[in-house]
């Protein structure tokens, strides 16, 4: 089945798997998806991820992270920039998600990174999603 918004599909799969308390979520892979999941892992929202080499398209498996009482680490994940309405932000207008408790993930000219990393490098870009 063709997906019009692959990043929205990734975000929805992660949200649904987390709410259903699944251990992992599997989806078609792409370089942008791998980079986004890499940022989620570095920020501590997912445990790990693996790319499976398959034909015709590789598969991305994300191992979700939970607290001691099986409460999900990802309590909210929301798509910001959509195919019908792209959202861009310069470094001065990057959002502070939940007063700094969450993370905004964006694509910049230097790759996919968190809002904190973008502020450090003084870069703006397209806001992909917010995670808290």
Report the alpha-carbon distance of residue 86 to residue 66 in Å, rounded: 32
pLDDT attached to residue 100: 86
Domains and CATH numbers, the chain: 6-131 (3.30.1490.10)
pLDDT attached to residue 41: 98
pLDDT at 42 over 90: yes
pLDDT attached to residue 1: 58
Alpha helices for the chain (secondary structure H)? 6-19, 31-42, 115-121
CA dihedral sign, ordered 33, 36, 41, 42: positive
Predicted TM-score (pTM) of the model is 0.93
């Amino acid at each position: 089945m063709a997906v019009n918004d692959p990043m929205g599909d990734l975000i929805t799969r992660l949200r649904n798997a987390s709410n259903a308390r699944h251990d992992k979520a599997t989806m078609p892979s792409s370089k942008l998806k791998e980079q986004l999941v890499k940022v989620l892992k570095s920020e501590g929202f997912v445990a790990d991820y693996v790319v499976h080499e398959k034909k015709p398209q590789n598969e991305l498996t994300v191992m979700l992270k939970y607290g001691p009482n099986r409460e999900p680490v990802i309590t909210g994940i929301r798509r910001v920039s959509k195919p019908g309405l792209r959202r861009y932000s310069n470094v001065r207008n990057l959002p502070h998600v939940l007063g700094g408790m969450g993370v905004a993930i964006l694509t910049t000219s230097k790759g996919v990174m968190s809002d904190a990393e973008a502020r450090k490098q003084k870069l703006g870009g397209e806001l992909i999603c917010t995670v808290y």
